[in-house]
Amino acid sequence: MKTLWTVAKKELVDLFRDRRTMMISLLMGPLLLPALILGMGSMAEKKARTQLESTLELPVIGAELAPNLVAFLKGRNIEAQAPPADPDALVRNQDADVVLRIDPAFGEQWRGSRPARVELIYDSSRQDSRIPVGRVNAALAEYSRTVGVLRGINRGVSPEAGFAVQVAQRDVATPESRRGMLLAFLPYMLILFSFLGGAHLVMDSTAGERERQSLEPLLATPASRSAIMSGKILAACLFGMLSLSLIVLAFKLSFAFAPGALRLVDVSLPVMAQLMFVLMPMVLIGTTLLTLISATVKSMKEAQGYMSVLMLLPMVPTIMLMVNPVKNQLWQFAVPFLAQNQMILKLVRSEAISVQEWAVYLGAGFGLGLVLWLMAARLYHREKLAISA
C-alpha cells in the first residue's frame, strides 16, 4: 500500500506541475458542457416559441375555392400566401415549411356534405418543419370538427351521435420523467467524461514514460510491479473523479440558469452523489482499459490513436436505444455503457433503482474493472515493457 500511494502521489504531482495540460484536462468538460446546455436550450426554446406564436405564412393553392377555410385559418394566426408554381420544389428548397393544396372539387364536396379533400405538402425529414405542419394539421382538424357538428345540428342530429366512443387518456408520466426526455444527451456526456477523464494521465504514465525511457528505472526498483501499476491507476482514477465532480457541479449550475423546463431538472446533492457513485465503475473501467492499451504500444502517439475509437464506445447504447427502444431488463445493468446509460436515465427521471439492479450493476462494473486490471498486470510483468524500441 505504501508503494501504491507513493506512485499515485508522484503521478499526480507530475500532472499538476504541467499546469496547461492539467487545466485543459480538468476544466474542459465543466466549461464546455454548460455552454452546450445553455446554448442549445436557449436556441431550441427560442425557435419553438417563435414558430408557435408568430404568424405562420402558408402558401395555399386554390384559396378561392374555400374562402371559409382560409378565413378560419386566419383566425388561428395562419396567413394564406400566394400559390407557388412548383410547391414540391418550394418545400424541398426550404422556402416554405408546408404548402396547402385545396382540391378543385372542394366546393362541390363541401356543399354535398361529403369530406372535402385538401392536401398538405411538406418534407418530414426536415426537423424544423414539425411545428408548422402540426399547427396546420391541428387547425384543419378543428375546422373539420366544427363544420361536422354544425351540419349535425342543422339536420336535428345531436353532435354526440357522431362519436361512438369517447376516449379518455391518463398519462402516468411524472414531471421528472417528461423532463428526462429532454436530456437524452446527458448519459453520453457523463459516460464519455468518466470513461476518458483520466486518459492523459494514464497514457502518459505508461506509454509516455516508456517512450521517454523513464519507466525502466521505476520497474527496476524492488517495488512490486502490480503495486506500481495500481498506483498509476489510482492516480488516474482520483483525477478522473475530481474532473467528474466538477462536471456534475457544472451541470447543477447549468440547470439552475437553463431556460424553460430544463430549469426544473432535479440535480440535488443526493442525486449528484448517486451520479458520482454510478460513474465510479466506468472511471475504473476506462482507466484500466487505457492502462492495458498503453502497455501494448511503444509511444504516446500510438496510444492516442486509440482515442477516436474509444470515444465512439459510449455512443453505442445511445444510438441503439434511439433505433430500437427497449424496456428496462435486469441483464442491461450488466452491459458496459448500456448499464450506465440506464442508471443515469433512472436518476434523471427520479425512478427508484432496486437493490437487485444495484447489485448487478456494481458487480458487473467492478468485475470488468478487475478483469482489465489483471490483464494489465500481466503485461506489466513482461520484461520488454520498459523497452520503447
pLDDT at position 295 is 85
Let me know the angle formed at the C-alpha of 270 by 269 and 273, rounded to the nearest 5 degrees: 85
Domains of the chain by residue range: 2-43+176-386, 52-170
Locate the DSSP E strands across 110-203: 118-122
**Is the separation of the CB atoms in 138 and 98 below 8 Å?**
no
In whole angstroms, give the CA distance from residue 141 to residue 243: 52
Each residue of 275-284: pLDDT tens digit?
889 999 999 9
Q: Please return the burial class of 86, using the count of CB atoms within 10 Å of its CB with bins 0-12, 13-18 and 19+.
A: exposed
Each residue of 301-320: pLDDT tens digit?
888 888 888 888 887 777 77
Each residue of 259-277: pLDDT tens digit?
665 666 666 778 788 888 9
Question: pLDDT confidence of 44, banded at 50, 70, 90?
Answer: low
Each residue of 115-159: pLDDT tens digit?
889 999 999 888 778 888 888 999 999 988 888 888 888 777 777
- The secondary structure of residue 178, as a DSSP letter, is H
Task: State pTM to two decimals.
Answer: 0.70
Each residue of 166-176: pLDDT tens digit?
777 776 666 65
CATH fold of the domain at 52-170: abc type-2 transporter like fold (3.40.1710)
Question: In which element (H, E) is residue 134 found?
Answer: helix 130-154
**Is the separation of the CB atoms in 237 and 287 below 8 Å?**
yes
